[in-house]
Copies of this chain bind each other. A is one copy, B any other.
């Protein structure tokens, strides 16, 4: 019970003790994990986690080419962020930019040979870290449950943020 926070009328449904514990654990886990994985990248790899994921997306296209906006949507990043990230990667020779054929607004991001070599040589360390810090630390059932739960959350957020 509590307060007379007028105006809102509705008494908010607080989280119970157990929910609150799960929520805190979620926050801590996510924070520590991205921090640990990011640190792994900056210590042992030449590309950051974000850059790595971008390289992976490019490598999955048969031509090593993905349009900037598709990259942005796929990575759930803003267009501006992708512009800056690709700009930095281009300066290092990992990718290059070419005009999209048929749409003069568009820009295609293309994986260079250097970029592909970098990805191939650094993938093992990346996967090893992901395994060590998450996949292998969980039982297969736990990992699957984690994936399923986050799928629901992702969908919910996508609907809430139709952008």
Contact = CB atoms under 8 A, between A and B. Distances in A.
A8 B123 CA distance: 12
A147 B25 contact: yes
Interface stretch (A83-91, A95-103, A135-143): A135-143
- Among A10, A123, A147: residue with most chain B CB under 10 A: A147
**Chain A residues touching B, majority SS:** helix
A102 to B, nearest CB: 29
Interface in A19-72: 19, 21-23, 25-36, 39, 53
Nearest to A146: B149
A69 B157 CA distance: 33
A76 interface: yes
Given A15-B135, A19-B135, A120-B5, A149 B160 contact: no
A130 interface: yes
Contacts of A153: 29, 32-33, 133-134, 137-138
A137 B124 contact: no
Nearest to A161: B36
B138 A142 contact: no
Interface of A: 3, 5, 8, 10, 12-15, 18-19, 21-23, 25-36, 39, 53, 76, 120-121, 123-124, 127-128, 130-135, 137-138, 142-154, 156-158, 160-161
